[in-house]
Amino acid sequence: MALQGAASLRSRRLVLASASPRRQELLRNAGIAFEICAANIQESPLPGELPQAHAERLAREKAQALFIQYPHDFILGADTIVVIENEILGKPRDEQDAARMLRLLSGRTHHVITGVCLLSTPTSRLANPWTKQVRTPSRAYHPTGSLGSKVITSTWWDYQ
């Protein structure tokens, strides 16, 4: 019986509900086979939503959005947000918005929060969705002063 269950788990795919190159790199470096199918969800914070709850909700919604298409596989949803002074920074709208965000972060402590959700069917031992929050305070410093340039030549990150 246990061997049959193990074979059933091995026949399932891991589907990454993200187009993030960094998440793909992490899975590849860990030697984990996976397929990519980015979930298309609304990523705006809900009114009054706290940063940790926001990251966890996005990870869960990404996984749930693909679970309908891949009901017999493992679905991995994840989302990382940056928070400074309780403000959640979303994806920059354009180059000017990206420069604004870099100036806001430069030389200041901020938080990077990642929510993770793994979903599968009740036939596996990982039946319940879960979320995990990782908070990493960090400081960003950009010594070149060329935050508006297209190519940033020197960036230093200090993870505490």
Question: What is the sign of the dihedral through the CA atoms of 120, 124, 130 and 135?
Answer: negative
12 phi-psi bin (left φ>0, alpha ψ -120 to 50, beta other): beta
**CA–CA–CA angle 151, 152, 158 (5° rounding):** 155
Amino acid sitting at position 23 = R
Q: How far apart are CA 41 and CA 104, in angstroms?
A: 27
Catalytic residue among 79, 94, 97, 158: 79
Active site residue 79: yes
- DSSP symbol at 82: E
Q: What share of the chain is helix, strand, coil (3-state, %, to 5)?
A: 30, 30, 40
Q: How far apart are CA 114 and CA 146, in angstroms?
A: 29
Residues with a catalytic annotation lie at: 79
